[in-house]
Structure 1
């Protein structure tokens, strides 16, 4: 007697598509979450700044006070030639009607996320070529230094360089690989052998201090892939985000184009975003690179 089983009768088995769509694994946008100064404008933005002030001195009674000159310049954002981030997806009305999930809503969310990821990468390390965003790591005049992922002193030297420039850094920024290398640093306990089994971590092995955020030397750590290696050399940035300005023209404008491809019975979903960034003070960024 033969018994009919499911493995031989797949055409008779009902199936159901789950009412969800699994998103890819990806990092969250980090730049805007760090708290830069955000200016809203649809026009080019000029931020005036004082390059240097005057030197005050002691003057005797009745003596002439010497003249002083104050130098000004400006930071320019959103030039008229700056390009926007844009993306467009077209899909048929049959697909929208027959999809198990709310496909148009899912795609709108997905496209906004994709634009946000591209924006995050540009704000950090955009090349600034061909009228695109020049990221803060590519800005002219930033402080540079040497990074040694085997020696925490290189981080202290970076902090000292920032403080020497009268900068109060607010965040570290680095890749997960760099952060892991620093967290693995160990030292011998006082009076004990230097054998590996008796060594302790230099930093809190959880990497967490004062809440749920990662910290190193008291400063929160931003984990991002948008500080890529240069010629296989890792980089770590020390940033004062109070001196970082972001100009926002269009946040993430979503348009449903239901007439453009009407002769194909299809619609388009378009997302447009336009931003720019600059440093109010160039030394607000200290970029450490492996030797």
Structure 2
């Protein structure tokens, strides 16, 4: 009998495809939503802002004009105490030479994606102290808040939209941040005739809207919360984009190389009332 691949598998090279399958990862949401980004060389960023309204008065001729005082405030981003996200991954030179894919490129893409995801989770989260780590959207002070304490419905979304209108925000920059299960739950709402109340726009492929505002669907929003924000009123200070450095000498004694990724960001609202949070959703 002639030898074949089935009788002599030891003599055949295993067929390995020259691709590396990445796990499914959520794309960056917060930075893609359009906040105002300020680049810096590492120094703290101070964004001056006007205070409250003054009260001009009516005056007749020859009357003394009353004086008004305008006050000022500022938003501080990236204080010196804010930490960076840093990560290092080592690999042997043998693995780098024998890999059927570009190992350094694959690891670079993986690490950069993970660092971006870490920032997204932070900015859309509820933690952070604003001193050593950036604060998340749901931890910002002085924002508007609706304590719903019930199942999500369209009425509470309209209430949030109404608060945005009352705060004189830019309606064109308003965006929703919802969890996947929240949005699918809303899409299931039907009228008395059994028709879905929310219908997709056939002219806008893949774009979801609620009350005319774009919907960002992300599992990084903390459970039981959602937000409606005027993204033009949110500032991001960027010290460094995720920056990759190949370390060839640090681990030379082990015949290894390493990839180091470093990034530093901060985010704060310029006008906190332009962010409306809905909490307590069950």
Q: Is TM-score (shorter-chain normalized) higher than 0.5?
A: yes
| 1:214 corresponds to 2:216 | no
Q: Secondary structure at the match of 1:201?
A: coil
* 1:38 alignment partner in structure 2: 37
Q: Which runs of no fewer than 5 residues in structure 2 stay unpaired? A: none
1:114 pairs with 2:104: no
Match of 1:173 in 2: 177
In 2, Cα distance between the equivalents of 1:208 and 1:45? 43
Give the Cα separation in 2 of the matches to 1:19 and 1:3: 31
C-alpha contact 1:171 1:222 (8 A) present in aligned 2: yes
> Which whole-Å CA distance do the structure 2 matches of 1:117 and 1:186 have between them?
35
TM-score by length of 2: 0.92
1:141 aligned residue: 142
What CA deviation, in whole Å up to 9, does each residue of 1:208-238 have, x standing for no partner?
A: 6645311111111001112111xxxx21210
Helix, strand or coil: the match of 1:186? coil
Deviation of 1:4 (Å): 7.5
Cα displacement string for residues 182-206 of structure 1 (whole angstroms, at most 9, x for unaligned residues): 11111114xxxxxxxxx111110x4
2: CA distance between counterparts of 1:24 and 1:66?
Answer: 66
Q: Does 1:153 align with 2:155?
A: yes
Aligned equivalents of 1:112 and 1:217: distance in 2?
Answer: 35
- Partner deviation per Cα, 1:141-168 (whole Å, 9 max, x = no partner): 0100144545311111110111112223
**Alignment: residue pair count:** 276
Corresponding residue of 2:274: 284
The alpha-carbon distance between structure 1 residues 207 and 288, as it changes in their structure 2 partners (threshold 3 A), is farther
Deviation at 1:83, TM superposition (A): 0.2
- Alignment match, 1:223: 217
Q: Secondary structure at the match of 1:106?
A: helix
Query: Residues 126 and 222 of structure 2 are in contact (CA less than 8 Å); yes or no, is this contact kept in structure 1?
Result: no
Change (3 A) 1:38 1:208: farther
CA distance in 2, matches of 1:161, 1:254: 43
| 2:238 pairs with 1:237 | no
Report the counterpart of residue 124 of structure 1 in structure 2: 124
The alpha-carbon distance between structure 1 residues 211 and 57, as it changes in their structure 2 partners (threshold 3 A), is farther
**Alpha-carbon spacing, 1:34–1:150, altered in 2? closer, same or farther (3 Å):** closer
DSSP 3-state at the match of 1:187:
coil
Whole-angstrom CA distance in 1 between matches of 2:201 and 2:157: 15
CA–CA distance in structure 1, aligned partners of residues 151 and 183 of structure 2 = 9
Structure 1 partner of 2:96? 96
Aligned to 2:25: 26
The residue number in structure 2 matching 1:203 is 198
Give the secondary-structure state (helix, strand or coil) at the position aligned to 1:254: strand
Instruction: Please state whether the residue corresponding to 1:55 is helix, strand or coil.
Output: coil
Q: CA RMSD in A?
A: 2.0
Partner of 1:83: 83
CA contact (8 A) 2:152 2:182 kept: no
Cα distance change, pair 52–150 in 1 and its aligned pair in 2 (3 A): closer
Displacement of 1:14 in angstroms is 3.1
Q: Distance in 1 between matches of 2:11 and 2:254?
A: 35
Q: In the alignment, is the contact (CA less than 8 A) between 2:238 and 2:264 conserved in 1?
A: yes
Match of 2:56 in 1: 56
Secondary structure (helix, strand or coil) at the match of 2:191 reads: strand
Give the equivalent residue in structure 1 for 2:65: 65
Does the Cα contact within 8 Å between 2:49 and 2:72 map onto a contact in 1? yes
